[in-house]
Amino acid sequence: MQFEPAFLKIAPGDTVIFVPTDKGHNSEIIADALPAGGEGWKGKINEEISVTLTAEGLYGYKCLPHFGMGMVGLIQVGEDISNMQAIQEAKLPPKAADRMEELLQQVG
Ligand SMILES: [Cu+2]
């Protein structure tokens, strides 16, 4: 019930491909957990999804069925981390909030 790797740092314009290795999961942006001007995504269950992120900042995402179990991930695009506080303040279920806090410690 985890994304692997759950933290990624990429350059603006890079593409991330979410590949399902197990059934019953998706990847979608967490509301308000992306930089201003950034584009979110919403993958379908069991389907691969490819996202190209151009706006610099932090993008928090979740697996919808397992959000409550803490299945979340974080992508840092470039060096602008000014939306970190917004991600810390986003409303997440307790286990997801704990996991996101761990992932935010990898930002740099
Ligand atoms: Cu899942």
pTM strictly above 0.85 = yes
**Confidence grade of residue 16 (pLDDT, cut at 50, 70, 90):** very high
Domain ranges of the chain: 7-104
Is the pLDDT score of 41 beyond 90? Answer: yes
Three-state DSSP at 25 gives: coil
What is the Å distance from ligand 1's center to 71 Cα? 6
29 closest CA partner among 80, 94, 77:
77
CATH of span 7-104:
2.60.40.420
51-96 residue pLDDT tens: 999 999 999 999 999 999 999 999 999 999 999 999 999 999 999 9
Cis status of the peptide bond prior to 5, with omega within 30 of 0: yes
Q: What is the pLDDT of residue 108?
A: 87
**84 marked as binding residue:** no
Task: For residues 13 and 2, give the distance between their C-alpha atoms in angstroms, rounded to a whole number.
Answer: 25
Alpha-carbon torsion (79, 81, 83, 88), positive or negative: positive
The answer to whether 81 touches 57, Cβ cutoff 8 Å, is: yes
Which tokens go with 67? 């959000």
Query: In the chain, count of helices (H) and strands (E)?
Result: 2, 6
**1 marked as binding residue:** no
What is the Å distance from ligand 1's center to 9 Cα? 21
